Amino acid sequence: MAKHLGAHVATTASSSKTDLVKGLGADVVVDYTTQAFETVLRDYDVVLDTVGGDTLGRSLQVLKPGGIVVSIAGPPDPAFAKRAGANPVVRLAIAALSFRVRQRARRRGVRYSYLFMKASGDQLREITTLLDAGTIRPVVDRSFDFTATREALAYVEEGRAKAGKVVIRMTS
């Protein structure tokens, strides 16, 4: 999606997945099994953090001044609490959760933002248009019939899905 929007895309993957992610549009692939991405990547405007924890902290290092880390795995931030309509006590608690990462970001001259993923019919329609046009393509590891949903969940829980999403097919 980022490539479609005109971004220069860097990502991490194991060496066995390099061709796959380059085929999806990555310009730079860092093999996370042999390199720390923060020692290779520099001066990016945006980092999308999907892991959190230590990876979130390291992501701050690859941004140029004024850049932003957007995390779907890190702690919620005050802006999220405000958008969610949280009461003042909850807002304070949420601010405390992300205080350290926001402080580290400020020290580096960058920003941190938490993104709460939610379903959007409009966004899904736009994505469907891009899928139908072949502009973006999904990567499916394995498909299961609806009747095999338990097997699909076990497959995911066991960590057996290695290249893409697991899909449950619903037939009418």
Identify the pLDDT of residue 72: 96
Mean pLDDT of 103-107: 98
8 Å CB contact between 49 and 60 = no
Q: Which three-class secondary structure state does DSSP give residue 124?
A: helix
Backbone φ and ψ of 161, nearest 5°:
-75, 115
Mean pLDDT for the chain overall: 94
4-14 pLDDT tens trace:
999 999 999 99
- Please, which residues bridge with residue 143 across strands? 167
Which position has the token pair 């923060």?
38
Of 36-45, 77-86, 118-127, 162-171, the range with the lowest mean pLDDT is 162-171
Identify the pLDDT of residue 63: 98
Alpha-carbon distances, residue 129 vs 120, 134, 137, 169, 171 (angstroms): 14, 9, 11, 20, 22
Q: Does residue 110 carry a pLDDT above 90?
A: yes
Q: What is the DSSP letter of 2?
A: T
Higher pLDDT, 164 or 72: 72
Domain ranges of the chain: 42-114, 138-172
Q: What is the DSSP letter of 141?
A: E
Residue 28's nearest CA partner among 47, 56, 51 is: 47
117-162 pLDDT tens trace:
888 999 999 999 999 999 998 899 999 999 999 999 999 999 888 7
Alpha-carbon distances, residue 30 vs 48, 62, 73 (angstroms): 15, 13, 20
Indicate the pLDDT class of residue 172, thresholds 50, 70 and 90: low
